[in-house]
C-alpha cells in the first residue's frame, strides 16, 4: 500500500494586494455542487444543518459552512472545516445531484476597506452595499473568467474560481487591490 499523497493547493505561497485590500489564498475547503428541486430542500437543509437559500444572490452560513444560491436549483456548498459534504448529501434521502468540486474550485479572500474596489477592477457586478450586502453571493465574471463572488463580511469577500484560472484571478485581484488602495 502506498503512502497518502500530499496535497498541493494551486495558489500555495502567494500573497498580494495592498493595505486597503489584502488578497490571500483561502485555506482548502470541501465543496459541493448541489442541484435539487424545491421539494427536496427541506430534507437537504436538515442534512446540511442550514437552510438552503431560495432567493437570488443570497446565502446561508452556519459554523464555517456556507450555502450559496447560484441558480434556481443550484447551490455551491462550502465547508471551511472540510466536512464530508458528499456523505451528508447522501444521507438526505431525497432526489438531488451532489458532485464533489472541492478540488475544482479554489478561493481567494479579498479583505479590507477597498476590497470591493479591488474586485470591481474586473467584475461587472454592482457591489454597492444596498445591492450586494453582507451575505450576498453570485456567479459572475472577473476579467476573462467566471467566478463566484461571496461577501461573508462587511469588508470580506471570497472569490471562488476554477483552479487553473486561479493564478489569473489572483493576479487581477492583486492589481485591482493595488489600484483600489491608492
Partner 1 sequence: MLLIYCPYCEEERSELEFRHGGDAHIARPTNIADISDAEFEDYFFLRDNPKGLIFERWRHIHGCGRFFNAARDTVSDKFYMSYKAGEPKPYIPGVSPASEKPLSENVGETYEATEGTAK
Partner 2 sequence: MSGANRIAGQGRLTPARTARFTFDGKTFDALEGDTVASALLANGVHLVGRSFKYHRPRGILSAGPEEPNALVDVSRDAARRQPNVRAPVQEVFDGMKVESQNRFPSLAFDIGGINNLMSPFFAAGFYYKTFMWPKAAWEKLYEPFIRKAAGLGVAPTEEDPDHYASRYAYCDVLVAGAGVAGLSAALAAAEAGARVILVDEQPEVGGALHYDLSVKIDGQNGYDWAQATAAKLKAMENVTVLTRTTAFGYYNHNFVGLVERVTDHLARPDRKLPRERLWQVRAKRVILATGSIERHMVFANNDRPGIMLASAARTYLNHFGVAVGRKVGVYTANDSAYEAAFDLKRAGVTVAAIVDNREKPGEGVLAEARKLGIEVLAGHSVVDTKGKLRVSSMSVARNGGGSARSIPIDALLMSAGWTPSVHLFSQSRGKVAYDAATGRFLPGTYAQDCLSVGSCNGTDGLQATIEEGLAAGELMARATGHEGGGKVELSGENAFEWTGGMAGSGEGAGVDTTVKAFVDFQNDVCAKDIRLAVREGMHSIEHIKRFTTNGMATDQGKLSNIHGLAIASEVLNREIPKIGLTTFRAPYTPVTFGALISHSRGDLFDPARKTPMHAWEEAHGAVFEDVGNWKRAWYYPRSGETMHDAVNRECRTVRSAAGVFDASTLGKIEVVGPDAAEFMNLMYTNGWDTLKPGRCRYGIMLREDGFIYDDGVVGRLSEDRFHVTTTTGGAPRVMHHMEDYLQTEFPHLKVWLTSTTEQWAVIAVQGPKAREILEPLVEGIDMSNEAFPHMSVREGKFCGVPTRLFRMSFTGEAGYEVNVPADYGEAVWEAIWARAEPLGACAYGTETMHVLRAEKGYIIVGQDTDGTVTPYDASLAWAVSKKKTDFVGIRGLKRPDLVKEGRKQLVGLLTKDPKVVLEEGAQIVADPNEPKPMTMLGHVTSSYWSENCGRSIAMALVAGGQARMGQTLYVPMPDRTIAVEVSDMVFVDKEGGRLNG
- Residue 154 burial (C-beta neighbours within 10 Å; 0-12, 13-18, 19+): exposed
Q: Does 83 participate in binding partner 2 (rule CB under 8 A)?
A: no
Choose which of 42, 56, 128, 133 interacts with partner 1 (CB under 8 A): 56
15 binds, among partner 2, partner 1, none (CB under 5 to 8 A by kind): none
Q: Considering only 14-22, 69-77, 99-107, 108-116, which stretch makes contact with partner 1 by CB under 8 A? A: 69-77
**CB contact at 8 A, 77 and 66:** yes
Nearest to 49 by CA among 39, 57, 61, 59: 61
Q: Does 130 participate in binding partner 1 (rule CB under 8 A)?
A: no
Count other Cβ atoms within 10 Å, centred on residue 18.
18
Nearest CB to partner 2, comparing residues 155 and 175: 175
Q: Closest separation between CB of residue 67 and partner 1, Å?
A: 15
**CB contact at 8 A, 21 and 177:** yes
Choose which of 29, 70, 127, 177 interacts with partner 1 (CB under 8 A): 70
Amino acid at each position: 500500500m502506498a503512502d497518502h499523497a500530499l496535497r498541493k493547493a494551486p495558489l500555495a505561497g502567494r500573497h498580494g494586494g495592498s493595505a486597503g485590500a489584502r488578497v490571500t489564498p483561502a485555506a482548502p475547503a470541501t465543496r459541493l455542487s448541489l442541484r435539487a428541486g424545491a421539494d427536496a430542500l427541506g430534507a437537504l437543509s436538515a442534512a446540511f444543518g442550514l437552510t438552503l437559500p431560495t432567493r437570488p444572490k443570497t446565502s446561508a452560513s452556519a459554523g464555517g459552512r456556507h450555502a450559496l444560491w447560484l441558480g434556481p436549483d443550484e447551490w455551491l456548498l462550502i465547508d471551511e472545516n472540510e466536512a464530508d459534504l458528499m456523505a451528508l448529501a447522501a444521507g438526505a434521502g431525497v432526489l438531488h445531484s451532489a458532485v464533489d468540486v472541492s478540488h475544482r474550485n479554489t478561493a481567494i479572500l479579498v479583505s479590507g476597506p477597498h476590497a470591493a474596489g479591488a474586485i470591481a477592477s474586473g467584475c461587472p457586478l454592482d457591489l454597492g452595499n444596498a445591492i450586494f450586502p453582507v451575505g450576498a453571493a453570485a456567479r459572475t465574471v472577473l476579467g476573462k473568467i467566471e467566478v463566484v463572488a461571496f461577501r461573508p463580511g462587511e469588508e470580506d469577500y471570497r472569490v471562488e474560481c476554477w483552479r487553473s484560472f486561479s493564478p489569473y484571478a489572483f493576479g487581477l485581484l492583486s492589481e485591482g487591490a493595488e489600484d483600489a488602495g491608492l
